[in-house]
Structure 1
Amino acid sequence: MTDRNAKRLLELLRQPGNDECADCGLKGPEWASYNLGVFLCTTCATGHRKIGSHISKVKSLKLGKWEDPEVEVLESGGNRLVAKKTERFVPACYRRPKPGDPHVLIEQWIRAKYERREFETDTCKDYTRGEMRGHLMKKAKDENKYFPRYFILSEAENCLKYFPKEGAKEPKATIPLSEMNVCLAPAKMHQDNGLQISYIVEGSTRHVYLYHESGHVIINWYMAIRSAKLNRFMVAYPSASETELVPFLCTDFALEGYLSKTGPSEADGYRKRWFILDHRKLMYHTGQMDAYPKGEIFLGHKDDGYAVELGAPKNCKDQGFTFHLVTPERTFVFSASCREERDAWMAALTAVLARPLRPQDNLMAVSLVRKRAGKFSLDIFSLAQ
């Protein structure tokens, strides 16, 4: 690359919008597509390579040899100008990827923009029609095997149903959209196109794990659920804008990982559990992909007797990197594997306890109290037998 072209590229990178990746927003792009005219991070440049050089030709800004015509394309384009065309009609329900998001989300965003050109016209997308049907692979509740199931998403009926096979009369389950969260979970599931649905059934959280061999298909399902939920919200809250409602669609879990947990008795030992922090609910499971949590802890506000404190409480064994969660009902004691994990969990929980409660949070608290009361009654009945 000539010194003149190197200076031209540096000047382009200083322009607003070009200082971050055109597709995920990561600061400091190190690549560019010299036929599309956009600057890219390393991860998104890999995504561009996957869609093929007939659509996007990428080159390193530092190591590549840049010719005058290639630099001229970038000068006439740039991230913001190209986005005005490729992102003109992105639906409000569509989740735009951010740095660190699952690869399937990033790749399908890139394909949607440059290969399928989905957002250049204001036409109805498959995932915004309010209904979707098709087969997905679903994990069995009690074993690590997947089986094909037929799914129907209906915005009109406010639910997602799945059947043992297409044409079956009765669904295996009907999941209300209002009770459902969906998130991408490829790392945990060891499936590139893994999807996790969580919902409330009989006062307890149920997790369903799905995948499809096609990333395009699984992202369409993901966006279709978001679209249906958004449209239902727009009806329920007519004075709110789409921008205000989008954050309340489907969200990734705030934090997941293994912690050791001890029981309510001082004599209880620590047991390894998989924890999920979901809004104001802390769930713990025996394994990463259990269908149901072993326990669910409501996280109220710090002014109502909730707190996160370093170390173990008095008369409780400190296993190292220990901290405890204080609630009005009891104190939960946890141990992380290292200082960084402990600090991350403490920071995440403290942030939750500082947030004001919403009306739906109070409903969740009532549900979990009823669940604990029911379990207590069952334990008393069992002891009496």
Structure 2
Amino acid sequence: MTTSVEQKRGNVKCQNSKKPDWVSVTLGVFVCQGCSLIHRSIESLRQVKSVLQDTFEDKEIEVSHRRSTGRFVFLAEGCFLEQWIRAKYERQEFIHIEKQEPYSAEGFLWKRGRDNGQFLSRKFILSEREGALKYFNKQDAKEPKAIMRIQTLNATFQPAKIGNPCGLQITYLRDNSTRNIFVYHEDSKEMVDWFTAIRAARFHYQKVAFPGANDEDLVPRLTRNFMKEGYMEKTGPRHTEGFKKRWFTMDDRRLMYFKDPLDAYARGEVFIGSKENSYTVVSGLPPSIQGYHWKYGITIETPDRKFLFACETEAEQKDWIAAFQRVVNRPMMPQEYAVEAHFKHKP
């Protein structure tokens, strides 16, 4: 019986482990040992078994089979972990998000300064009626420092990048370019509540924007994790400049590069279309490329030019190529053609 459950384990993962060794029998989800202890501390989730040591009944394997589709992946880590599990399974804030009323929120978060890198307390207001998340540089300020439209708002947990266990990265589009804001709160529940509020506001926006869509189709659009992040080297459009080390973020079809992972704005963005539209990704660099650079190259060909990148290790090269291929192999949506056109007209 254990072998059957072991075979299902590869379909899902706990955020704290790529190969979790425990199963929540109640939920049919795979978790790491740390998560299993938290599950056991919650009365309604106490039934947890080891994949390697325990035996499973047929009905338990069936629950695991039905639910091991990747839907139940923990996004929390560090101090988020217990609050996330309780929010998701005790209070059911994410499973039943469609039942929530229009959501607004107000409070103070520590925000990283764009120029000096210092975290300062800032007032944030999320207003679904206004369709925006705003923050103010001063408590008594009448005008917000920034207005982030719910239409393009995204939030993802980034404790390692931000250097705080309760760190959240918020992104939005400003003049069709991505703007990053990095925030945290000492109280993990407060940070989870903000994340939930953003998702709820996004859900109600999607319900209005796509009135005929099913809730199951809308929920994956509420917030998203980046497909891939990490360092690569790049050269300029003429391919004669030296390769420079940059931090890259793959956010759906937007490949952005930064001098520092915590930069507010990207140094540049590249649109990655589909193979039907003449976008291709190949391993290696053209033979004509000379000079010092990391050994493992990647070439992205677009209808207009070639983009050349280099990775430090072969493993990183393979991971980046896999991420690019997932995007290139996916047909473009109608609204993505407008984004592609914008990138083509950028100076």
- CA separation of 1:337 and 1:179: change in aligned 2, threshold 3 A: same
Q: Distance in 2 between matches of 1:19 and 1:256?
A: 22
**Which residue of structure 2 lines up, in the alignment, with residue 368 of structure 1?**
343
Q: Distance in 2 between matches of 1:346 and 1:19?
A: 21
Equivalent residue for 1:290, pick from 241, 263, 272: 263
The alpha-carbon deviation at position 366 of structure 1 amounts to: 2.7
**Which residue of structure 2 lines up, in the alignment, with residue 328 of structure 1?**
303
- CA separation of 1:348 and 1:170: change in aligned 2, threshold 3 A: same
- Given that 2:184 and 2:191 are in contact with CA atoms closer than 8 Å, whether structure 1 keeps it comes out as yes
- CA separation of 1:338 and 1:130: change in aligned 2, threshold 3 A: same
Equivalent residue for 1:235, pick from 193, 196, 208: 208
- Paired AA for residue 42 in structure 1: Q
The alpha-carbon deviation at position 317 of structure 1 amounts to: 2.5
- CA separation of 1:55 and 1:261: change in aligned 2, threshold 3 A: same
- CA separation of 1:46 and 1:317: change in aligned 2, threshold 3 A: farther
Q: Distance in 2 between matches of 1:190 and 1:301?
A: 35
Spell out, residue by residue over 1:271-330, the C-alpha distance to the aligned partner (whole angstroms, 9 max, x if none).
Answer: 100000111111011011111100100111213221111211141127411111111222
Q: Does 2:323 match 1:348?
A: yes
Structure 1 residue matching 2:343: 3-state secondary structure: helix
Q: Distance in 2 between matches of 1:80 and 1:26?
A: 22
Spell out, residue by residue over 1:332-383, the C-alpha distance to the aligned partner (whole angstroms, 9 max, x if none).
Answer: 111101111001111111221111111331222233234x23xxxxxxxxxx
Q: Does 2:141 match 1:164?
A: no
Q: Distance in 2 between matches of 1:299 and 1:252?
A: 17
- Given that 1:39 and 1:79 are in contact with CA atoms closer than 8 Å, whether structure 2 keeps it comes out as no
Spell out, residue by residue over 1:111-151, the C-alpha distance to the aligned partner (whole angstroms, 9 max, x if none).
Answer: 3367xx4249x999998541011101100001221011111
Q: Does 2:244 match 1:271?
A: yes
Q: Distance in 2 between matches of 1:234 and 1:59?
A: 37
- Given that 1:19 and 1:29 are in contact with CA atoms closer than 8 Å, whether structure 2 keeps it comes out as no
Aligned residues: 333
Equivalent residue for 1:43, pick from 24, 34, 57: 34
TM-score (norm 2): 0.81
Q: Does 2:193 match 1:220?
A: yes
- Given that 2:98 and 2:215 are in contact with CA atoms closer than 8 Å, whether structure 1 keeps it comes out as no
Q: Distance in 2 between matches of 1:54 and 1:155?
A: 35
Q: CA RMSD in A?
A: 4.0
- Paired AA for residue 175 in structure 1: M
- Given that 1:194 and 1:210 are in contact with CA atoms closer than 8 Å, whether structure 2 keeps it comes out as yes
Q: Distance in 2 between matches of 1:19 and 1:261?
A: 34
Q: Distance in 2 between matches of 1:298 and 1:246?
A: 25
The alpha-carbon deviation at position 225 of structure 1 amounts to: 0.8
Give runs of aligned pairs for residues 1-385 of structure 1, distance below 5 A: 29-30=21-22, 41-48=32-39, 98=73, 102-112=77-87, 117-119=90-92, 129-317=102-290, 319=293, 320-370=295-345, 372-373=346-347
Percent of aligned pairs sharing the same letter = 35
- CA separation of 1:179 and 1:323: change in aligned 2, threshold 3 A: same
- Given that 2:102 and 2:204 are in contact with CA atoms closer than 8 Å, whether structure 1 keeps it comes out as no
Unaligned runs of 5+ in 2: 64-69
TM-score (norm 1): 0.73
- CA separation of 1:239 and 1:55: change in aligned 2, threshold 3 A: closer
Rg (Cα) greater in structure: 1
- CA separation of 1:100 and 1:162: change in aligned 2, threshold 3 A: closer
- Given that 1:33 and 1:40 are in contact with CA atoms closer than 8 Å, whether structure 2 keeps it comes out as no
- Given that 1:149 and 1:162 are in contact with CA atoms closer than 8 Å, whether structure 2 keeps it comes out as yes
- Given that 2:83 and 2:192 are in contact with CA atoms closer than 8 Å, whether structure 1 keeps it comes out as yes
Unaligned runs of 5+ in 1: 1-9, 67-73, 82-94, 374-385
- CA separation of 1:338 and 1:100: change in aligned 2, threshold 3 A: farther
- Paired AA for residue 317 in structure 1: Q
**Which residue of structure 1 lines up, in the alignment, with residue 67 of structure 2?**
none
- Paired AA for residue 321 in structure 2: M
Spell out, residue by residue over 1:27-48, the C-alpha distance to the aligned partner (whole angstroms, 9 max, x if none).
Answer: 87548899x9x99640312435
Structure 2 residue matching 1:137: 3-state secondary structure: strand
